A = this chain, B = another copy of it.
Amino acid sequence: MIMDNQGISIEGASCPIPLSHNEQIVMGHGSGGKMTHDLIRNIFLLAFGHSTPFPGDDGAIIRLPEAQHSDYRIVISTDSHVVTPLFFPGGDIGRLAVCGTVNDVSMMGAKPLYMTAGFILEEGLEISTLIKIVNSMQSAAEEAGIQIIAGDTKVVQKGKADGIYINTTGVGIRSYAHEIGGACAQPGDKLILSGSIGDHGMAVLSARGELGFASEITSDVAPLNHLVESMLIASSEIHVLRDPTRGGLATTLNEIAMQSEVSITINEESIPVHPAVQSVSEMLGFDPLYIANEGKLLAIVSPTDADQVLNAMHYDIYGTGAVIIGEVEKRGTGRVLLRTTIGTHRVIGMLSGEMLPRIC
């Protein structure tokens, strides 16, 4: 039995910061930021018998005994979805559950093929709501070209869930030739972002009626596997692929900087943010760099291939807004710097605490 990645992969598990001594779970443990990392490192990775280094990638890679000499590897990723409300502009928990896992498998450089779905239903959930959600799952699965092959249903009493929670676990295959992962960023590499940031988190917030006014912001939730496939055809020099979900682009960049032990610089003026997202963020005191996305990816690519990857992305519906936003600087610091529009530099940390709970 061989595992390529020498251990467990729990999404976002790369932060070497000790667990703060909270005695109870608080909402911040689900933020995807620093507290989530601490929880994973100090409880899950410890219990499941894995020590550093942690890959911290979006899924795990396995090689089955009968395929020892094959070039293919199986990639597996799991995600539970607890978004509230269940329906929001541009999507719903069903589309989110399928796309979230399709994207995690894709970010491992793999082609997602199959998915399982585990439902936890709250007593009193309208059957018509459930039907809308599973139809939306199937529609997203068809768009991605994957099959939902196994499932499970549990029901809990009223007040013991929030309508419906969905776990999806995805299985895909990847060619071993492509070495892609959060630890593979190289000095000199270019950072490509597939489009605008902050749309998903702000759309969910607006659906909660918490803005106090109507907004035209729509979630970007989408399956990115076809986009990734085009990129992998365009170049064999893609070193990192990651979807900046919980914790936003800033947290994702910090994870990669730590995993690859490099310093990363991004340019504020090159990062696309929809005007509505920008203005709502300013009003509420949010930084779009920390807001979740569900249909965007970050690629870190050899400078020689950056343009051809960018070109390939522009042909895909989910990559038309792709731009280069920065570069990998040098070994060692694990630091992320933002070059502001006025030319100064500012260190961008990982999300700490909880900003927008239950956005995925």
Once the chains bind, are A152 and B116 in contact (CB under 8 Å)?
Answer: no
Q: Chain B residues near A40: list those with CB within 8 A.
A: 151, 153
Once the chains bind, are A134 and B79 in contact (CB under 8 Å)?
Answer: no
A36 at interface, CB cutoff 8 A: yes
- Contacts A30-B153, A130-B43, A153-B40; is A120 near B8 (CB within 8 Å)? no
Stretch at the interface among A65-73, A184-192, A248-256: A65-73
Once the chains bind, are B125 and A24 in contact (CB under 8 Å)?
Answer: yes
Nearest B residue to A13 via CB reads: B151
Say how far A105's CB is from chain B's closest CB, in angstroms. 10
- Contacts A66-B67, A80-B118, A147-B3; is A47 near B169 (CB within 8 Å)? no
A161 at interface, CB cutoff 8 A: yes
Once the chains bind, are A149 and B60 in contact (CB under 8 Å)?
Answer: yes
A134 CA to B80 CA in the complex, in Å? 17
Task: Say whether chain A's binding surface is mostly helix, strand, loop, or mixed.
Answer: mixed
Q: Chain B residues near A48: list those with CB within 8 A.
A: 134, 137-138, 141, 148, 151
Partner of A150, one of B8, B65, B113, B141: B8
Once the chains bind, are B117 and A49 in contact (CB under 8 Å)?
Answer: no
Q: Chain B residues near A149: list those with CB within 8 A.
A: 3, 8-9, 60, 62, 76
A65 CA to B1 CA in the complex, in Å? 20
A120 CA to B118 CA in the complex, in Å? 12
- Contacts A49-B138, A62-B171; is A155 near B29 (CB within 8 Å)? yes
Q: Chain B residues near A47: list those with CB within 8 A.
A: 131, 134-135, 137-138
Once the chains bind, are B160 and A162 in contact (CB under 8 Å)?
Answer: yes
Partner of A76, one of B10, B116, B121: B116
Once the chains bind, are B167 and A25 in contact (CB under 8 Å)?
Answer: no
Say how far A109's CB is from chain B's closest CB, in angstroms. 15
A307 at interface, CB cutoff 8 A: no
Complex interface bits, A70-97 against B, C-beta within 8 A gives 1, otherwise 0: 1110101111111000000000000000
A127 CA to B24 CA in the complex, in Å? 5
Complex interface bits, A1-40 against B, C-beta within 8 A gives 1, otherwise 0: 1010000111100000000001111111110000010011
Q: Chain B residues near A1: list those with CB within 8 A.
A: 113
- Contacts A127-B24, A155-B25; is A82 near B120 (CB within 8 Å)? yes
Partner of A10, one of B65, B135, B151: B151
Once the chains bind, are A118 and B78 in contact (CB under 8 Å)?
Answer: yes
Once the chains bind, are A24 and B152 in contact (CB under 8 Å)?
Answer: no
- Contacts A76-B114, A167-B78; is A8 near B44 (CB within 8 Å)? no
- 11 A-B pairs (CB sep. < 8 Å): A10-B150, A11-B152, A24-B123, A25-B155, A27-B157, A29-B155, A43-B127, A47-B137, A48-B141, A64-B173, A78-B151
Binding site for B on A (CB under 8 A): 1, 3, 8-11, 22-30, 36, 39-40, 43-44, 47-49, 59-60, 62, 64-67, 70-72, 74, 76-82, 113-114, 116-128, 130-131, 134-135, 137-138, 141, 147-157, 159-162, 165, 167, 169, 171, 173, 357-358, 360
Known: A25-B121, A159-B159. 17 other contacts (CB 8 A): A8-B148, A8-B151, A22-B127, A24-B124, A24-B126, A30-B121, A36-B153, A40-B153, A44-B151, A64-B72, A74-B171, A76-B114, A76-B171, A78-B118, A80-B119, A154-B358, A156-B358
